[in-house]
Structure 1
Amino acid sequence: LFHDYHPMVRPVRDMRAPVNVTIDYELYCVASIVSLGPSVFTLYAFHRNRWIDEYLKWNESEHGNIKSIVTRASQIWTPDITVRNGLLDMNEDSSTQEVSVTSQGEVNMNIFRVMTTFCDLDLKYFPFDKQTCYISANIWSYTTDQVSRTTHTHTHTHTRTHAHTHTHTHTQTHTHTYTHSNTHTQEIAPSSGFITLIVNFKIHLARNPQFYLTYFLFSCVVSASVSTFVFLMPSDSQQMVDFGVTIMLSFNFFLNSMYFILPQTGDYIPCLTMYVIFVMFVSFFFLFFTITNLMLYYHQEDDPPPSWLQHIVLDKLAWFI
């Protein structure tokens, strides 16, 4: 069967015809997300390739009714499929991979791959954010006149828990629901003008906000509500200042916690961060008016208030009161 077979020659008898390669990625899970500016995803996926090798066909009745064989990928022609937006293992060696060949010349090569790719995250609506990432596969050595690429149009949905690692020295575990679908586009290489085909596998990530609602957002909202209770305390209570300082420090803690939760990029400001900053300023004004209230309460009757305070209260706030 392999007599006079050369693995460097495209497996078509008419050299003007392209080899049709079907490419498919079946995503198993998102193992980790490392936030280094543009985030880096580590994916576990089954990479499936299928094509027809016209030189590897035989008559079953003449060969003991053998319907298929298994051989090494290095012994036959294989497409050099790489991940364009990959960080690691872009040119993974598949020569030792075993492939199956049927009597009709259909070659199936299934590879379980661990891929690391780039993806830009938009965490504006964190922790209710949804992300879209891509795996771009391409065959560098051939044009569309020599090798045509197709893919099955399908969508898979998974719910898995994975590790989320930032640039800091800690790892968090989050749950994402993700779906992936297959699309393809064409582009023209600017250097040669040849048309090459890129197969894009789209991954949709939806974060499960339960963890953040329980341990972060709920505590933040409760602290913001409690900060208004400072005005319900007696005017002669000096604990009002301690209470206001404690509330403001709690929001400072929430803001510092977000430094370890979110990636260090400047392309966005999450709405949750803006909310924490807003309530910090509100707590500051509550503390300011609390101190002013205590100053007025313990102020001597024969000593007039400071001129700056009279200006603020009588001139600026009079219309509001």
Structure 2
Amino acid sequence: VMLRFLILAIIVMTVAGKVYNRLFEDLLGRYNRLIRPSEGANDTVRIAFRLKLSDLTDVHERTQVITTNGWLIHRWFDPRLSWQPSLYGNITSMHVPGELLWLPDIILYNNAHGSPHVSAITKAEVRHDGRVKWTPPVVYNSMCKIDVEWFPYDEQYCDMKFGSWTYAGSQLDLIHLMADEVVEVRTTEGIEWTVERGIDISEYQESVEFDLLSVVGKRHEKYYPCCDYPSIDITYYLNIRRKKLFYTVNLVTPCFGLATLTSFVFYLPCESHQKLQLCISILVSLAVFFLVLLESIPPTSLCIPLIGKYLVFTMLMVTASVIMTVVVNNIHFRLPHQAVPEWVRRVFIDGIGSRLFISRGVREHRKKEKTKKRMTALNAMLILEKQFNKTLFHLEMATRERNEGMSTTQQLFLKLPFAQRSLSVRTNKMKTEKPQAITRQLSTDKSIFNVTARISEKQQDEATKRLRRAERNVHYIAQTLVGRRTVDENTADWHFLSLVIDRILLIIFATIIMSGSVVMFLSAPSDDRKPIN
């Protein structure tokens, strides 16, 4: 039984092969592929045409070219390729190499580079009634004007224009394959036959970078002054939207982080000596982002992309932060011999500083009197007492222990009662400047009188000179301590002023950067349409 089945199958295949050979010879024996398939010389060949999109391979923003893969579906009627199935073993269709048939010369008009013609000539399906279907695969690089105004939250509108390169509209007519979905629209340029789903996306593979929003197909029939026949084309309009995740994570978020760091520059203390280094580092990082951006967008001067505007805004803020950091450092390290101006003290130190809850780390010892008190020896002793946190009694005892070998005059001065040496100091606190001088002189005269009562006139003169010399030395020491205290207070004032200005700039820059970021990215178009793919 198996042997009989195999023999029967071989016989059938042999007969069928002979039938196919006979049909092929009958159809193509006298077929001329150079002649247009029409029954009359003036008849029009109608080509039902449609693009079947496989994937959107790439969008080259810099070169303004999109790369697409797919198939071109052609259907037409060739009366020379018809037969009766009953005469050829009920064969209703056959596949014929495209090189042996007449093929329409449909090309891509807005081709960027590469061949605009169909490069892969595949077999065509020929049916017994003369209908021919040819679906060659194509890879096109078409021109597309890239609008980068809202990059990376942008939408692009690209078109692919197809038409015959050789035949006029009266000889070859392009029509939509989906004739039942065609909508006729009259425009100022002529009549348009529109199909909302002009491109077949049944086998479309989703792009990782763009969403496909619409694929409208329009047939145009235009008349030009040079010719009395129409020029026919079918143009497909692709509306694509960039996916936001990649650029948001890898470009927008780092830019926002750098912009935020710009405000925190003013939170860094001046003593760290790293403020300018941080500013310059942010500036260099922004320059690197600019280079990355320039590689992604076309070199156009028509508009600045959204991310470019944000980078320029951030760079301006960083530049301003560098300038203000230099100013703040200049204030912080100002020479201490120069006091803070009074109006600056009132506005920043006493006014704004207290409202910003900034506390001073150094206590202020500045006196408020308009007139400076006359510095005397005993006043100087009080200053020494405050400076070293010791009383005059402790100073007296320490002096007696270290100066047992002093002269008689010096020892007599140390033997003066403590009340007599500090009498003028207590008197100065309750009286004006002139009575203080008189009281101090009387107290000194009384002390000298008590001393001279027990020593000779020569020893009295020598003791007086030494006392005056000691007074001058103590006065010099007190002035030095007062000067040092003034220097410390001025230094503390400049440091506190720089801290207040830093805090003000921190608030200002943080507010501007946050507001600018929100305004910048809320201005981008928001499209919640779902992709058709």
Which interval holds the TM-score relative to the shorter structure? 0.7 to 0.9
In the alignment, residue 244 of structure 1 is paired with which amino acid? C
Structure 2 counterpart of 1:177, from 188, 206, 211 = 211
Correspondence for 1:23: 49
The C-alpha deviation readout for 1:223-256, integer Å capped at 9, x for no partner, is 2112112222335442222222222222222222
In the alignment, residue 16 of structure 1 is paired with which amino acid? N
Structure showing greater Rg: 2
Correspondence for 2:89: 64
Structure 2 counterpart of 1:258, from 293, 297, 314 = 293
Question: Any gaps of 5 or more consecutive residues in structure 1?
Answer: 162-173, 306-320
Structure 1 counterpart of 2:333, from 284, 291, 298 = 298
Structure 2 counterpart of 1:12, from 34, 38, 42 = 38
Higher strand share: 1
In the alignment, residue 90 of structure 1 is paired with which amino acid? P
Query: SS of the counterpart of 2:136?
Result: strand
Q: 1 CA distance for matches of 2:270 and 2:276? A: 11
More displaced 10-residue stretch of structure 1: 192-201 or 234-243: 234-243
- CA drift at 1:112: 0.5
The C-alpha deviation readout for 1:65-102, integer Å capped at 9, x for no partner, is 111111122333221111111121123456x5311111
Correspondence for 1:165: none
Correspondence for 1:281: 316
Structure 2 counterpart of 1:110, from 100, 124, 135 = 135
In the alignment, residue 82 of structure 1 is paired with which amino acid? I
Q: 1 CA distance for matches of 2:251 and 2:119? A: 45
- CA drift at 1:186: 2.0
Correspondence for 1:98: 123
Correspondence for 2:114: 88
- CA drift at 1:147: 1.6
Correspondence for 1:309: none
In the alignment, residue 89 of structure 1 is paired with which amino acid? S
Query: SS of the counterpart of 1:144?
Result: coil
Correspondence for 1:43: 68
Q: Percent sequence identity over matched residues?
A: 21
Query: SS of the counterpart of 2:81?
Result: coil
Q: What is the aligned residue count? A: 293
The C-alpha deviation readout for 1:288-315, integer Å capped at 9, x for no partner, is 112111111221244489xxxxxxxxxx
Q: Counterparts of 1:230-249 in structure 2 under 5 Å?
A: 230-249=265-284
Is residue 159–residue 177 contact of structure 1 (8 Å, CA) maintained in 2? no
Q: 1 CA distance for matches of 2:277 and 2:98? A: 73
Structure 2 counterpart of 1:144, from 169, 174, 182 = 169
Q: 2 CA distance for matches of 1:22 and 1:249? A: 58
TM-score by length of 1: 0.82
Query: SS of the counterpart of 1:281?
Result: helix
Is residue 47–residue 112 contact of structure 1 (8 Å, CA) maintained in 2? yes
Correspondence for 1:201: 236
Q: 2 CA distance for matches of 1:21 and 1:60? A: 25
- CA drift at 1:176: 1.7
Question: Does residue 76 in structure 1 map to residue 101 in structure 2?
Answer: yes
- CA drift at 1:124: 1.2
- CA drift at 1:148: 1.3
Query: SS of the counterpart of 1:265?
Result: coil
Query: SS of the counterpart of 1:220?
Result: helix
More displaced 10-residue stretch of structure 1: 190-199 or 213-222: 190-199
- CA drift at 1:49: 0.2
- CA drift at 1:13: 2.0
Is residue 118–residue 136 contact of structure 2 (8 Å, CA) maintained in 1? no
Q: 1 CA distance for matches of 2:164 and 2:89? A: 37
The C-alpha deviation readout for 1:199-237, integer Å capped at 9, x for no partner, is 112222221121111111111112211211222233544
Higher helix share: 2
Is residue 62–residue 297 contact of structure 2 (8 Å, CA) maintained in 1? no
Query: SS of the counterpart of 2:135?
Result: strand
TM-score by length of 2: 0.51
Question: Does residue 268 in structure 1 map to residue 325 in structure 2?
Answer: no
Correspondence for 1:55: 80
Question: Any gaps of 5 or more consecutive residues in structure 2?
Answer: 1-26, 179-194, 341-507, 509-533
Query: SS of the counterpart of 2:149?
Result: coil
RMSD (CA atoms): 2.5
Correspondence for 2:247: 212
Q: 2 CA distance for matches of 1:104 and 1:198? A: 27
Is residue 210–residue 243 contact of structure 2 (8 Å, CA) maintained in 1? yes
Cα 1:114/1:295, change in 2 over 3 Å: same
Question: Does residue 124 in structure 1 map to residue 158 in structure 2?
Answer: no
Q: 2 CA distance for matches of 1:276 and 1:93? A: 45
Query: SS of the counterpart of 1:204?
Result: strand
Is residue 27–residue 180 contact of structure 1 (8 Å, CA) maintained in 2? no
Correspondence for 2:364: none
Cα 1:2/1:242, change in 2 over 3 Å: closer
Q: 2 CA distance for matches of 1:149 and 1:69? A: 25
Q: 2 CA distance for matches of 1:104 and 1:245? A: 78
Cα 1:228/1:192, change in 2 over 3 Å: same
Q: Which has the higher contact order (CA 8 A, sep 6+)?
A: 1
Q: 2 CA distance for matches of 1:25 and 1:35? A: 23
Correspondence for 1:134: 159
Q: 2 CA distance for matches of 1:98 and 1:137? A: 21
